[in-house]
A and B are shown apart, each in its own frame.
Chain A
Amino acid sequence: MANLIIHSPILIIAIPLLVAFLTPLIGRASGKARDVLVVASLAFVEFLVIILARDIYLNGLRVYTLGALSPDLTIPENYIVPIRIILEADSMSIFMAIITATVSLAAAIYSLSFMKEETGQDRFYTLLLLLAVGMFGMELTGDLFNLFVFLEIASIAGAALAAFRTRFADTAEGGFKYIVISSVAALMVLLAIGLFYAQYNLINIGALAHVMQYTMLDKIALVLLVTAFMMKLAAVPLHMWCPDTYSVAPAGITIMLVVASYACLYALFRTCFTLYGVCLNLTTVGWIVIIFGLLSMFIGVTMAVFQTDIKRLMAYHCISQTGYMLLGIGVGLAVLDNPEALNAYGIAAMDGGIFHIINNALYKGLLFLTAGALFYRTGTRDLNKMGGLAHKMKWTTIFYIIGALSISGIPPSNGFASKLLIYESVYQFNPILAIVAMITSILTLASFTKAFYSAFMGAELPEYQEVREVPKSMIAGMAILAAGIIFFSLFPGLVVDRLAQPATNALINRGVYINGIMGGGG
């Protein structure tokens, strides 16, 4: 077991990568064997992530140097800087990896039935696993260039998956938009990395943070990185691709694309807190993040209420919920150099923002899967054409209610707990921000009530007389996320203490991350 823990950072990336390329070979022999292999590999990765998370919680961060005599030998003998590819897993990165592993597993199980009638399933699962590899890589790497490479892997796989069902007219457009914005964002990230390399001869995050001087070029790199990651995580006004892509992707893939955008959120946090940290003009950058958050919350939710396409409605809510995370983290960033304010409400705001990431991955994932279930049975995403489906799809209705109550922040849901943390702490920073957040929550409830009424309520419609509940694997995929929501709702203290708070501390104490690299000389 000790060996497994030591090598788990690389195994979490390598196993899905290996299985991704095995999938077409095994799929030729047996479709069932391929399905079992895909689900089993993701289940094993989930196990690895959990044991690594436990290890990090007990023993602190873990580094893994590829090609070194010992994985923790980050700086080779006779060198003063790290030159090898290094993975660095701290509480923040493993927090994100837990989300990725859980959602990827649920998405794969759900897709077994959802994609059953589609052609080219071997390619589908290869791409799904590559998307997971891209996300895990972004979350676990300690190296900026590798971050770029994994960002590209996730972007290409995500675009191909969004456009996978070519028999629908709009899928190619969704996939095309995703690859264009991803490529533009990735190019800016690469340009920023070039600026760092030109100045410091380094691309390792910890080593760069150690020598960061905040020169003019560093400021340009900061602007490029922040804007590029904001684009990828669909913060307003860079959000417009999001509903176009999320609405056409298969439901299982949509939830993975949501998590892929959170991997970019992680990259944004890593940039602001670890790479630049106190070098930044914290109040300015904090307020930039807060304004992005406010715009995302309000414009996202008001556009969502207006929608009649259920997946576009949910996609706009993704934008809106990202706003809460940016708001919480932005407040923490703005007061990072003010210990009094940081202890009074900054840490709580960051806890709330980080807790909201995992909550949103669970309930937004569940809601997208219920939207997929409705599409699977009715053949439409148009809420104007739906009605009375609760009579026929009881499990889907129950899962929708769980997800909708949670995203709307209705007690005792996990969404309520994270929003309450954000409201309370942000109110102390600036009451107007908390008021906008509460209005957003009310409008969220309004739009999910609209979707619930339109799709599920009312008498049975004659065109849906033959509709029945979705297959068991789709129910199982939804059940995994619903179980997560219920658990997180009942034990918010546990989740905040064991997951969110350590992640916040990992962001605040950048010295630990830097020392993980610079203190590992041979």
Chain B
Amino acid sequence: MSILGLSYSPWSPIFWLLAFVVVMIMAYFFRRRGQKKYKKDTAQTKIFLCGEEVPEAKERHIRAHNVYWGFFETMKEYYDTNIKAHTGIINDYVIWFLVLIAINAIILFIVGIV
């Protein structure tokens, strides 16, 4: 029931989960052998910014529009073109529909003739 037959090899989430549990146990084992001087809720656990004052939560939270900034800068031309096509005008949506009907018809009839 849990095994999915594929052409190259079968996939079983149960075996995957078993392997995952084994890895987690190993990770826990190594973690237990780590630093024991950690003290919860002391100055040890506070944010340290090279001695600078730590900004308020609101200021240090990176907002969504900053995430992947480099990716969007690199893909600027792609996004400019794409966003320009998304006009938000319903007339344009219907024009796309008509254009697609025409393209599909041309493809189908050309293939029919050939």
Contacts and interface: CB of A to CB of B under 8 A. Distances in A.
B64 A227 contact: no
B13 interface: yes
A307 to B, nearest CB: 9
A493 to B, nearest CB: 5
Interface stretch (A75-83, A419-427, A471-479): A419-427
Given A240-B86, A493-B2, A288 B61 contact: no
Interface string A15-51: 0000000000000000000000000000000000000
A281 B111 contact: yes
A252 interface: no
B101 A388 contact: no
Contacts of A241: 90, 93
A384 B64 contact: yes
A496 B4 contact: yes
A66 to B, nearest CB: 34
B68 to A, nearest CB: 6
Contacts of A238: 93, 96-97, 100
Contacts of B1: 491, 493-494
A461 B101 contact: no
Contact of A384 (B2, B63, B68, B86): B63
Interface stretch (A117-125, A152-160, A177-185, A325-333): A177-185
A494 B1 CA distance: 5
| Interface of A: prevailing SS | helix
B4 A493 contact: yes
A490 B12 CA distance: 8
Interface string B68-82: 100110010011001
A305 B105 CA distance: 33
Contacts of A139: none
A224 B3 CA distance: 41
Nearest to A348: B7
B92 A454 contact: no
Residue of A176, A177, A227, A302 most packed against chain B (CB within 10 A) = A227
B105 A231 contact: no
A451 B109 CA distance: 45
Nearest to A179: B90
A268 B69 CA distance: 39
A224 B109 contact: no
A219 B108 contact: yes
Interface string A461-473: 1110000000000
A505 interface: no
A303 B58 CA distance: 27
Chain B residues touching A, range? 35 or more
B103 to A, nearest CB: 9
A336 to B, nearest CB: 16
A494 B4 CA distance: 8
Given A181-B94, A240-B93, A494-B2, A284 B107 contact: yes
Given A240-B96, A345-B7, A493-B2, A459 B71 contact: no
Interface string B1-40: 1111111100111101100100000000000000000000
Interface string A267-293: 000000000000001001100100000
A412 B64 contact: no
A203 to B, nearest CB: 22
A226 interface: yes
A176 B93 CA distance: 13
Given A219-B112, A412-B13, A492-B13, A454 B63 contact: yes
Interface in A397-427: 411-412, 417, 420-421, 424-425
A143 interface: no
B43 interface: no
Given A237-B96, A454-B64, A226 B57 contact: no
Interface string A315-349: 00000000000000000000000000000110010
29 contacts: A180-B90, A180-B93, A180-B94, A222-B108, A223-B104, A223-B105, A224-B101, A227-B100, A227-B101, A237-B100, A241-B93, A284-B107, A302-B75, A303-B82, A344-B7, A348-B7, A384-B64, A386-B64, A387-B58, A387-B61, A388-B61, A420-B6, A453-B67, A454-B63, A458-B57, A461-B57, A490-B14, A494-B2, A496-B4
